[in-house]
Structure 1
Amino acid sequence: MAAQAPQDTTGTDQKVFGGVDSHTDTLHVAVISDNGGQLADAEFTTTPAGYAAALAFLDAHGSVRAIGVEGTSSYGAGFTRAARLRGHQVIEVNRPDKAERRRIGKSDPIDAYAAARAALSGRASSVPKDDTVTGIRALHNAARSAVKARTAALNQIGSILVSAPEAIRAKYGPLKSTDRADALARLRPAGDALHAAVLTALKTLARRVKELTAEHEALTKALDTAVTAGNPGLRAAHGIGPDTAAQLLITAGGNPERMRTEASFAALCEAAPVPASSGRTNRHRLSRGGDRAANAALYRIALVRMGSDPRTREYTARQTAAGRTKKEIIRLLKRAIAREVFRCLTTTVHVPEIADLRPLRLSKNITLTAAARHLGVWPTRISDIERGTRRLDDLAHAYRDWLQTA
């Protein structure tokens, strides 16, 4: 698309705002003045040379105050890096809502000018996520895709067994998924053409399941290492595993200061109540304009705590006695968990050192059972502390004090 002729700004220090509509191979750049007037727009390639040309195009029209970019973490990531390296202020811009698109239509120039106006008006004000969680995002996506592929293979095995010959169905049908995959992976297809074909398909799928299981375990281990290094306090919180911690870090970004308050983070996770009153009705509902994956992570954390965290179980009992449903209680828990996660993301949380606990216990020939009996807990609690799978700070301090004096 040919660029509009830029207005002559020679000798002036005109303040301008940029807008970028990004795509896989191209990005469309628009420039507006500080009073909202459209100056020019042009299309560039998503290459280093294209980014340099786009930034030169913006600078040619005056002093660039800010650049609104759609897709700062996807198609616009390369341009965002280049612009920030040049010292420009980049603003993350959401896509225009459906009502606006129905009113004014959609095209690359329209979206680029809309992004520029969003940066000018302050409707968009979020700083883009930095690159510190890019590796976590890559590992998280790969691990989730392994789970999806494994589930698909297991479903295919079950589907084949439904219509398989009776001998095959009777032998492998009653087995559970893991035992069934192990048995099918070891079999040697034999028999007539029908039996051999069905068994070959089942064996292939079973081997795929085992390979994907090993792949997922390796990716989860790498993800756990990356998440723990990135935010040990978040990973150590009760009920937050590698997957949920990774999702929350991805949602917040590696620079959580871009979120001003914990209420904004709760809204981002779809866990913030918003007014839904009308006439005689006075009520609230949860925000639906955030990250569904982050909301699902909070939901899983709430379920884990409802089953294993004493404080959460007591709270659930009190709320149940007050007449609230399980769904309502989970909503309250998600809001409280969002508040706790925000503190972990924005402040330094000190996690007690646990690497020396097991060697210290073994050096004194103390068993897990003996330590647990002295502290009045189950042996699994001591094991959780030593392995770092559960954060129990008070118990960890008491355990360390006892080991040092035992």
Structure 2
Amino acid sequence: MLDVSGLATQPGVRPRIRVLVVAGDNPERIKSEAALAKLAGIAPVPTGSGMTSGRHRINRGGHRQLNAAIYRTVIVRMRFHQPTIDYVARRTAEGKTKREIIRCLKRYVIREVYHLLRPAPRTAPQRVDNYRSVNALMESTIGLFKTELIKPGRPWKGLSQVELATAEWIDWYCHRRLHGEIGHIPPVEYETNYYLATTKPQVTTTI
């Protein structure tokens, strides 16, 4: 079972949804960072056959929609993410072309995604029980997602409509849907109450 909670901190709603869809459909293929890069079409490919110059080109294979999501993430970072802006300036000074720099940045992003997708480590005695409980929770959530959104919304006109509706459903599920298991309140309110009850107040002194 893949842990995708870390993706919530990444910028961009639609790229996150695309990564989640692909990872959910192909968990057995994502055994390593290289496997995820190959699945996304981001694995480096030599520029020529036979005698190579040590340079690589952009891969045209793999899952094109996931590749496009990673590409959009890179383009946004090149404009607004200062570490990425500094990296582009440094690599440009080294003689790299814009296309080569984008290829390198896509590889860095896929590395971040892989580390966010990796399952959390479990101790040996708890591995089976944790897997079963998480798997049951995911199956229940997916079933609820299909019942409340996918089936009533048929027929869907395209993937973009499903992605937008999914983002809206997740926002409603976390912020406004009442859950009986936690006292008929939304998860966000429950989490806020939990931290208010468990966080110790800071002691301040006046000199």
Q: TM-score, normalised by structure 1?
A: 0.28
Match of 2:43 in 1: 272
Q: 2:33 aligns with which of 255, 262, 265?
A: 262
Q: 1:247 aligns with which of 14, 18, 41?
A: 18
Tell me how many residue pairs correspond in the alignment: 124
Contact 2:29 2:36 in 1 (8 A): no
Q: Give the stretch that moved more between structures: 282-291 or 317-326.
A: 282-291
Match of 1:341 in 2: 113
Match of 2:8 in 1: 235
CA–CA distance in structure 2, aligned partners of residues 284 and 321 of structure 1: 18
Which letter maps to 1:248?
V
Q: How does 1:105-120 map to 2 (within 5 A)?
A: none
Structure with bigger RCO (C-alpha 8 Å, 6+ apart)? 2
CA–CA distance in structure 2, aligned partners of residues 251 and 292 of structure 1: 11
Paired residue secondary structure (1:280): coil
Paired residue secondary structure (1:234): helix
Change beyond 3 A, Cα 1:291–1:405 = farther
CA–CA distance in structure 2, aligned partners of residues 257 and 279 of structure 1: 33
2:71 counterpart of 1:304: no
Q: 1:284 aligns with which of 56, 64, 67?
A: 56
CA RMSD between the two structures: 2.8
CA–CA distance in structure 1, aligned partners of residues 15 and 23 of structure 2: 12
Q: How does 1:96-245 map to 2 (within 5 A)?
A: 231-237=4-10, 239=11, 241-245=12-16
Contact 1:302 1:334 in 2 (8 A): yes
Contact 2:29 2:35 in 1 (8 A): no
CA–CA distance in structure 2, aligned partners of residues 405 and 321 of structure 1: 51
Which letter maps to 1:328?
E
Runs (5+) with no aligned partner, structure 1:
1-129, 133-229, 350-402
Runs of 4+ in 1 over 6 A off after TM superposition: none
CA–CA distance in structure 1, aligned partners of residues 94 and 45 of structure 2: 23
Deviation at 1:345, TM superposition (A): 0.9
Change beyond 3 A, Cα 1:404–1:302 = farther
CA–CA distance in structure 2, aligned partners of residues 243 and 405 of structure 1: 43
Contact 1:256 1:345 in 2 (8 A): no
Contact 1:233 1:348 in 2 (8 A): no
CA–CA distance in structure 1, aligned partners of residues 60 and 110 of structure 2: 15
Which letter maps to 2:6?
G
Q: Say which structure is richer in strand.
A: 1
CA–CA distance in structure 2, aligned partners of residues 347 and 317 of structure 1: 35
Q: Say which structure is richer in helix.
A: 2
Match of 2:95 in 1: 323
- Which one has a bigger Cα radius of gyration? 1
Paired residue secondary structure (1:247): helix
Q: TM-score, normalised by structure 2?
A: 0.52
Paired residue secondary structure (1:253): helix
CA–CA distance in structure 2, aligned partners of residues 404 and 306 of structure 1: 40
Paired residue secondary structure (1:267): helix
